[in-house]
Amino acid sequence: MAVSTRSPHRGRTFALSVLIVVGGIPTGRYIVQAAPRPVAVPIPEPGLAAEWAHPDGTGGAHYSSLRDITSANVRGLEVAWTYRTGDVSPNADGRAGTAFQSTPLMVDGLLYVSTPYSRVIALDAETGAEVWAFDSGLDRSDRVHMMVTNRGLATWLDEAAPGDAPCRRRIFLASFDARLFALDGETGARCADFGVSGELDLALDVDRATGEQRGHYKQTAPPAVLNGRVIVGSSIFDGRAVEAPSGAVQAFDARTGEQLWSFEPLVGVTGTLSDGRTLTAGAANTWATITPDPEHDLVFVPTGSASPDHWGGLRPGDNTYANSLVALRGSTGEVAWHFQAVHHDLWDYDLPAPPMLLDMEHDGETVPAVALATKMGFLFFFHRLTGEPLFPIEERPVPGSAVAGEVPWPTQPFPTLPEPLHPLGLEPDDAWGLTPWDRAACRDAIASMPSEVFAPPSVEGSIAYPGFVGGMEWGGMAHDADRRILITNTNRMAMVARLIPADQVDEQSGGGGKVSTLGLQTPAPYAAERSPLLSPIMLPCSPPPWGMLHAVDTGTGELLWERPLGTMRDMVRIPTPEAWGSPNLGGAVVTGDLAFIAATMDSRLRAFHVETGEKVWEAELPASGQSTPMTYRVRDGGRQFLVINAGGHAGLKSRLGDYVVAFALPQAPPVADVAPELVP
């Protein structure tokens, strides 16, 4: 094994002194010192090529068997190349803001990147040089949504086509405005035999998704591809109206674009207004990534809540396929089995993450399993073919509601193992504040509202903890199959939901303060105001850490370790303790013995040891990394690359950018064929 030695600071020694000021009062000085230290980097022997053909990795596991980069040499990682897409906006000048959340694909030596504005760019995966680019023509002045994003692409190889046929390798883009494109992987040209000139309108056959509601029907997740079928869900504004667009899941022929089947998650879910009108609930849509299982002809679909989010009087019952893991037959769209994680959702507890396929030990046998991550911080594990829980699940009583017309479901499912990765509810003594005055205000706020887990929204306000953004989120889980360790990250930010009688809503104010949002839920009798639970100086009332990274043994369900994740330094412009953690969006990838993750509000990419949770490396990114890294080797004997899209999130106010950043270990120095000639 070759060794390369380099000094990252080029012989300089520096000290950074930062004065910490809170409320105008100096409270201390934070000193950082660094001195040059040569880093001995073991260079691995050349290995075999390895592609990354799915944004979330094979089976949603965010895992690579490559082992070039390990805890022994990770300190030697360096930026190999950087590419800028040009697609970035802070939500100004008449343009929607951007969130660069996608994970690239790498097949056939090309790296395929999707941008927030639904462009596709193909790069040489070793050099980062642009090969081609495709623009879907997305309207960049979308002021309805205020922010645009795309989380990735899908690819399919038509093995029945001749080797030199156009579009033998296809790249599928589901654009933000809900069109599906099929592109030639080699050239970026539209596949003329797919749909109309390589394009489909995904809203065309979806109930209530046309006309005035067309703009509320979007796409953010990558399509799933299963045995020649392209399968898509949708992203829907489920807080605007009762009769939101349908959350139908659709499958299309990968060659022609012909619709093959459609799964409707809500059938016959209706309610009656006081004037006698009958309304049909919508949504229960799948905005998270669908996970295909080609071996068993299954697709695992994580659905969201029925509309509207926070008042269910017009959608009585458990809303069966909403908030559910639904296993569909890939060939027919028929339901094989399903599990509802939240009955009659009133908390916007959509299933946010791609289901993850893995093998698990159960009753002395290895069984095909699927893992489900939730906003509540619950992890559920099921037999992939039958839906049998692999750890017991209990239905437990939860609070009722005093709101007229609301009938919450009396129980909710709780896993017995693993234990929840998020605290369930807040007590006044849990209140946190930077000053005694701040903490007292938070304590009073918590004491004034229901704060049990699954406490229904109320006119007075109810605390949701876990909050609307998790627990777990769309970054999903990573799984080290050799060590049977699952890695996932969580948020710990309390939120408040308050129901406002419809005749009292001030649409100009948005229902409250500048940090709140308002869902009109038309024509329900209540609108819903949502806001983070903050102190008078605008810090969270819930105690830190506000972001965590966890490791779970999938064989036993045991929590192996958990660590605070990230800092708030880029937001508050002063050093903050790592023990506070950070809200985070994005996920981890596992390679070697390391889990790499950015996701946090600071612009950092970090590596943690899978077995111990020790942070062994971090690097500054040119923008915040609200995305999930991926890794690959282009050719036999080439370097392993670790790639992340660093572009931030306009909605979170993290540092924006348009960067694709590739890291790699230094190349091994060449070995001379003959001894060098001595020079006197």
Which positions are catalytic?
A: 348
Strand partners, 169: 157
Q: Residue with structure tokens 């506000």?
A: 546
Tell me if 57 sits within 8 A of 106, measured CB to CB.
Answer: no
* Whole-number Å distance between alpha carbons of 220 and 224: 12
Pairing of strands 298-302, 324-329: antiparallel
Q: Which amino acid is at 356?
A: M
Least Cα distance to 245 among 304, 196, 300 occurs for 304
Strand partners, 455: none
* Whole-number Å distance between alpha carbons of 200 and 188: 17
Q: CB-based burial of residue 9 (10 Å sphere; 0-12 exposed, 13-18 middle, 19+ buried)? A: exposed
* Whole-number Å distance between alpha carbons of 216 and 232: 16
Tell me if 113 sits within 8 A of 175, measured CB to CB.
Answer: no
Q: Where are the beta strands (DSSP E) in 544-620?
A: 547-553, 559-564, 588-591, 594-597, 604-609, 615-620
Tell me if 96 sits within 8 A of 145, measured CB to CB.
Answer: yes
Strand partners, 590: 63, 595
Dmax (CA) for the chain in angstroms is 102
Q: CB-based burial of residue 651 (10 Å sphere; 0-12 exposed, 13-18 middle, 19+ buried)? A: middle
Between CA 464 and CA 469, with CA 467 as vertex, the angle to 5 degrees is 155
**Residue 588: partners with Cβ closer than 8 Å, 6 or more residues away:** 62, 475, 478, 487, 488, 489, 549, 595, 596, 597, 599, 628, 629
**Residue 670: partners with Cβ closer than 8 Å, 6 or more residues away:** none
Q: What are phi and psi of 82, to 5 degrees?
A: -135, 140
3-class DSSP assignment, residue 100: coil
Query: What per-residue string of b and e applies to 145-160 under the rule 16 or more CB within 10 Å gives b?
Result: bebbbbbbbbbbeeee
Question: How many Cα atoms are found within 13 Å in the side-chain-facing hemisphere of 362?
Answer: 17
Provide the Cα torsion 660, 178, 346, 292; round to 10°.
-70
